[in-house]
Amino acid sequence: MELVIQNLSKTYANGVRALDNVSLTIPTGMYGLLGQNGAGKSTLMRTLATLQDADSGTAMLDDLDVLNQKETVRRTLGYLPQEFGVYPRVSASELLDHFAMLKGVINGKQRAQLVEALLHRVNLWDVRKKAVSSYSGGMKQRFGIAQALIGEPKLIIVDEPTAGLDPGERNRFYNLLSEIGENVVVILSTHIVQDVMELCNNMAIIHQGRVLFGGTPQAAVNGLSGKIWAKSINKSDLPTYQQTHTVISSKLVAGKPQIHVLSDIDPGDGFRAAEPDLEDVFFSELRIKN
Ligand code: ADP
């Protein structure tokens, strides 16, 4: 199975071109869509989730026309939106039961079994009687995955799922996502490089509605091999380095800025060769294309 997106474009009424000829081939497994806020990720996710229309382009899940056969897509789709809106003050098991009903699981006994299995799977069984509105951020996201898994979807879309989670919650969420079958297409949109590094075997970088890179994280990193150089500097020298080098990132290490620069040759001057990581890929793509 494969999701093939071709030349997808969307311009909002205010003139913002949120998707600009996006073409991606997404195989089964976990696919990371990495981009900064405003890159166009949610627009793409909502379009694939049949919640809004593109201006042009196609998206085919094998021979299913995702943009036009909306009812069929919805039956095979699991969607965890960025904002779930306000949760009603009902318990997790009641709410999950309600979602299962909406998704067409009409047999009461089957539904009860499904709800129980899902609550166990996302580790919320012990708190199933508590109102979802009272859950922590991480618990809400796990609940979100439980509802997304109803109906054994073939296409699962999770939009910025780890934003706002603390490290422990994020880890639990990673573990849960990584257990979702390898035979479904899971698209994870995120601005957090670590999400993609930990979870995804394929990825794309999207910026201002355009795809800057598509491939495996490893290929992305290999492309930068021998081109990333690191140096600890004084904060006051940063503007100078930014003028003289292609500085792609600057972060504090033990209180001192450490810069990464992109260069085909050894810049000398105390720089040392650094092993590129996905963060370097992300920032160097943004830097080059801007
Ligand atoms: P991301 O999910 O990567 O943060 P979005 O898809 O939400 O990006 O937004 C992409 C661009 O489209 C942004 O510039 C955003 O302000 C704009 N945008 C998103 N939704 C709307 C809308 N309903 N109307 C107008 N502009 C929008």
Minimal-distance CA residue to ligand 1 atom 16: 38
Q: Which of 50, 45, 64 is nearest to 4 (CA)?
A: 64
Same domain membership, residue 56 and residue 153: yes
Dump pLDDT digits (tens) for 215-258. 999 998 999 999 999 999 999 999 999 999 999 999 999 899 99
Average pLDDT estimate for 141-148: 92
* CATH classification at residue 70: 3.40.50.300
**What confidence score (pLDDT) does residue 89 get?**
83
Pocket test for ligand 1, best of 14, 42, 189, 190 (most atoms within 8 A of CB): 42
Predicted confidence at residue 288, as pLDDT, reads: 65
Question: Which residue's CA is minimally distant from atom 25 of ligand 1?
Answer: 12
DSSP bridge pairs for 24: 5
Q: Cβ neighbours of residue 12 under 8 Å, at least 6 residues apart? A: 18
Q: Compute, in angstroms, the gap from residue 50 CA to the centroid of ligand 1.
A: 16
Amino acid at position 21, single letter: N
At 285 the pLDDT is: 85
Whole-number Å distance, alpha carbon 36 to ligand 1 midpoint, is 11
Q: State yes or no: pLDDT of 94 exceeds 70.
A: yes
Q: What is the pLDDT of residues 102-128, one digit of tens each?
A: 999 999 999 999 999 999 999 999 999
Say which residue the tokens 């109102």 belong to: 131
DSSP H or E run through 67: none
Same domain (yes/no): 163, 20:
yes
Among 43, 44, 51, which residue has the most ligand 1 atoms within 8 Å of its CB, making it the best to mutate? Answer: 43
What's the number of domains the chain is made of? 2
Residue of 16, 205, 282 with the most ligand 1 atoms within 8 Å of its CB, for mutation: 16
Decide: residue 130, CB within 10 A, 0-12 exposed, 13-18 middle, 19+ buried: middle
Q: 199 and 268 share a domain?
A: no
Contact 33/61 with Cβ under 8 angstroms?
Answer: no
The mean pLDDT value for 156-177 works out to: 88
Q: Cα(38) to centroid of ligand 1, in Å?
A: 5
- State whether 167 and 237 are in the same domain: no
Distance 238 CA to ligand 1 centre (A): 32
Q: Do residue 59 and residue 172 come from a single domain?
A: yes
Ligand 1 pocket list (CB less than 6 A):
12, 14, 16, 18, 35, 37-43
Read off the pLDDT of residues 28-61 as tens digits, 9 standing for 90 and up: 999 999 999 999 999 999 999 999 999 999 999 9
- Residue 84 in this model has a pLDDT that exceeds 80: no
Identify the three-state secondary structure at position 167: helix
Q: DSSP secondary-structure letter at 131?
A: B
Rounded to an integer, what distance in angstroms lies between the CA atom of residue 12 and that of residue 17? 6
Rounded CA-CA distance 272/158 in Å is 38
Burial of 217 (0-12, 13-18, 19+ CB in 10 A): buried
Residue 17 — pLDDT band, cuts 50, 70, 90? Answer: very high
Cα 222 vs. chain centroid, distance in angstroms?
Answer: 22
Please report the pLDDT score of residue 169 as a whole number: 87
Contact between 127 and 139 under an 8 Å Cβ cutoff? The reply is yes
Band of residue 180 on the pLDDT scale cut at 50, 70, 90? confident
Tell me the CA–centroid distance for residue 37 and ligand 1, in Å: 9
Structure token pair of residue 165: 């989670």
Domain-ending residue, one of 192, 215, 238: 215
Note down the domain range covering 7.
2-215
Q: Nearest-CA neighbor of 207 among 20, 32, 14?
A: 20
The answer to whether residues 63 and 153 belong to one domain is: yes
Mean pLDDT value across residues 120-142: 93
Closest residue by CA, ligand 1 atom 22: 12
Residue 105 pairs in a beta bridge with: none
Q: How far is the CA of 43 from the centre of ligand 1 (A)?
A: 6
